[in-house]
Structure 1
Amino acid sequence: MRFASLGSGSQGNALIVEAGGTRLLLDCGFSSREVTARLARVGIDPGGLAAILVTHEHADHVGGVFAFARRHQLAVYLTHGTHRAAARGRAALPDCRLIDGHTVFAIDGIEVRPYPVPHDAREPVQYAFSDGDRCLGVLTDSGSITSHIVDVLRLCDGLVLECNHDQELLAASRYPAQLKRRIGGRFGHLENGQAAALLRQVDTRRLQHVVAAHLSQENNRPHLAARALALALDCAEEWIGVADQESGFGWRQLG
């Protein structure tokens, strides 16, 4: 199993997961032309994708999903709430699969486990992926950590974790007070310390990769996110990966 990010941040998000010849696209917050170019950077042709999975209806995650799915005749998996709340274009999907946020399913050789998260969207979920031997957990766009999140991510071999903001930088930022409260609230986004706290609650002995993701360009810095996660894992900061908006990160193998 391997995974790569096509870009991560408030301007667009997309992640590729591959196992046993099956390739899944998690979210597509870029235009069809842009995501095609970003796929080419990691050696993937859109025709080689099996499906798109959607976490929630915010534009930086779903903005390009429907057009891209129609163009390449891809199945789209999303919750009923996300489907209802998403922008126009959903009705023309070639293959729409409504999922339950608590029910595990399979797409070819990949087991997909959706799980609900506290975020200001209609029915948001995040996902864990398994090929039977290894497990990748992805957690972004969650304002807080629940016991269920900890349970899902407890035994992962790789983790992509939201480190949206640094608490002090957000407090001192030029953002309006209402926006600061939303971002830092229970249904907003995880800050560095919360992501680090999650690592202290899971079994980290199997971890081969930990990547900080969905960093705010205004309210966080890569070294602050890496430092927080490294302290939780008692490892070197250089071991922690950081996804950025422009290039995401290249292929990482779970083996």
Structure 2
Amino acid sequence: MRFASLGSGSKGNATLLETSQSCVLIDCGFTIKETERRMARLGRSPSDLEAILVTHEHSDHIKGVLPLARKYKLPVYCSYGTAEYGQLRLSHHWRDLVLGTVVDIGGISVMPVAVPHDAREPCQFVFRYQKKTFGLLTDLGSITPFVREHYRQCDALLLECNHDKQMLADGPYPYSLKQRVGGDWGHLNNQQAASLLAEAEVGHLQHVVMAHLSEKNNTPALARAAIEPMLANSDALLSADQEAGFDWLDIA
């Protein structure tokens, strides 16, 4: 199993997960043309996809999903609440995901994990294939016991480090947006991300990718300073980029 990012941040998000059996796309916040370009950079095309999975309906995660599904005739898996976006629920592409219930997609075991975020019925995902586990965890404002339980034993983790608390407080956002981003239904700050790792079995982690970093309220250096002390192997720590994403990472 391996994974890669087409891009991560407020301007668009998409992640690829591939096994020897199939390839799936998680979220698509880019146009068809941009998605095709970014996938080609990773040696893949939308025609290689088994399905698209969607975490929630915010535009940086979903705006390209239905156009891509229509062009390439792909099923789209998401919650009922997420499917209320646009015409998705009325489309024959939609497949209902029940949060907390495991589903098999292309031979991959997928657990949709409910998270606290200001969306209709948001989730994140834990993927299992041949005894290896990949956790994708972004776009949540607080870490619940349910989240901690499901992300405790990952072999690789894509983890939100959206903002530094002080940078957010001192930054250019209006007060209402600062409250939203920093609230329990917003986005994880660096210390919250570190706290998840503090209770995880970090000896299993081959890769930890810091994701969804705010361009105005965080820096890779600040995120790394918070996360690195939590890891058994600091060489496992990487950062996802808005433009470049990151290249394929193998889970051995």
Tell me which residue corresponds to 1:168.
166
> What displacement does 1:75 show?
0.3
> What displacement does 1:232 show?
1.5
- Contact 1:4/1:252 (<8 A) preserved: yes
Please, what TM-score do these two structures have when normalized by structure 1? 0.96
Are 1:182 and 2:215 counterparts? Answer: no
Q: Percent identity?
A: 48
Q: Which runs of no fewer than 5 residues in structure 2 stay unpaired?
A: none
Q: Distance in 2 between matches of 1:175 and 1:153?
A: 31
Counterparts of residues 66-105 of structure 1 (less than 5 Å): 66-84=66-84, 86=85, 88-90=86-88, 93-105=91-103
Tell me which residue corresponds to 2:63.
63
Q: Distance in 2 between matches of 1:128 and 1:91?
A: 23
> What displacement does 1:93 show?
3.5
Are 1:241 and 2:251 counterparts? Answer: no
Tell me which residue corresponds to 1:3.
3
Tell me which residue corresponds to 2:251.
254
Tell me which residue corresponds to 1:18.
18
Q: Distance in 1 between matches of 2:30 and 2:128?
A: 26
Q: CA RMSD in A?
A: 1.1
What letter is aligned with 2:169?
A
- Contact 1:70/1:94 (<8 A) preserved: no
Counterparts of residues 142-153 of structure 1 (less than 5 Å): 142-153=140-151
- Contact 1:192/1:228 (<8 A) preserved: yes
> What displacement does 1:166 show?
0.4
What letter is aligned with 2:62?
V
> What displacement does 1:160 show?
0.4
Deviations 1:66-90 (A, max 9, x none): 0010000000001001111x1x242
Please, what TM-score do these two structures have when normalized by structure 2? 0.97
User: Size of the alignment, in residue pairs?
Assistant: 252
Task: Specify whether residues 234 and 172 from structure 1 end up closer, same or farther in structure 2 by C-alpha distance, changes over 3 A only.
Answer: farther
What letter is aligned with 1:188?
G
- Contact 1:51/1:75 (<8 A) preserved: yes
> What displacement does 1:202 show?
1.0
- Contact 1:209/1:240 (<8 A) preserved: yes
Tell me which residue corresponds to 2:201.
203
> What displacement does 1:239 show?
3.8
Tell me which residue corresponds to 1:28.
28
Counterparts of residues 96-115 of structure 1 (less than 5 Å): 96-115=94-113
